Amino acid sequence: MPKLLACSFCKKTEKQVARMLGGPKVYICDECVGACNRILEATPVDFKGWDKMSEGELLSGLKVADATVDATRTVLQSHVDELRRREVSWRNIGEALGVSRQAAWERFS
Ligand SMILES: [Zn+2]
């Protein structure tokens, strides 16, 4: 059986995502492309520092930035959910995140 392709960013396999794009030795899934697009939308192309932006520009970017955080949090939660589905312990998840077992559990359970 041929080896499944896996996203180089989130490690999901081609069977776990709708689309997978390939480059030289790297793959990216549709979910990660979506997350990247939201990050790009939230970051002004000609960013010269927060202090150089008008209040209008700062306010108009706020909702996109918030949505980006939400989207990233959703990806992170499903990442942890998959580990828990595989019965990986909170201790191991905490260790991978550099936090205590208790902190990992409080944040993701
Ligand atoms: Zn991915």
Domain ranges for the chain, please list them. Answer: 43-108
| Cα 58 to middle of ligand 1, angstroms | 30
| Cα 56 to middle of ligand 1, angstroms | 34
Find all residues with CB under 8 Å of 22, minimum gap 6, and list them.
5
Residue with tokens 């998959």: 82
| Cα 44 to middle of ligand 1, angstroms | 24
Tens-digit pLDDT profile for residues 12-45: 999 999 999 988 888 999 998 988 887 777 776 6
| Cα 18 to middle of ligand 1, angstroms | 10
Tens-digit pLDDT profile for residues 88-102: 999 999 999 999 999
On the CB side of 27, how many CA atoms lie within 13 Å of its CA?
Answer: 14
Number of neighbours of residue 77 by Cβ within 10 angstroms: 12
What is the pLDDT of the chain when averaged over all its residues? 88
Angle (CA) 42 36 77, round 5°: 100
